A and B are shown apart, each in its own frame.
Chain A
């Protein structure tokens, strides 16, 4: 399977703990995006990378959240001191960039986080 993969698929953690999620984009896609989806809502943009550079962050991304893409391939999203309000599905997507035109984003299956 050459699609976007995410690990883990499910994570249950206690309030106050740190968690880290991983996303592997489609090979050679140079743009990578993170979204968060809460129950009954559409996904909300968190941040995106072009290669290893983080180009934009949403104000939803509080200082407890950090994302990295150190070598321009896979990415990690870490949440420190988790809160119950962090419970959501975290989605990763990737796309390719040709010239100034981005192409459609391909989504992974998501990581469902439950904070107890």
Chain B
């Protein structure tokens, strides 16, 4: 159990364009999804939390209009980076939560975004 699919694994886009990252929980339903961002040689930092059917909650300093999160179903959440800029280049990781207490934390394989 706990299979998570995150796509794409790598993406290069031009400055000003938008990129969509998908995160699917393949064999479980995730009521809560965390999105983390990891800059080079740094730790994972929480960007936002989404619950199925609700608006996402963003951490301080994360622009909600720039990072659009959709959690329309229990198995799919998307993060869209709008009007991407080079400073948005980072590693984005989703973390869908299973209902198994502290053993319910799972992670996607991550998306390495490079904005040129």
A and B associate in one complex: no
Residues of A within 8 A of B (CB): none
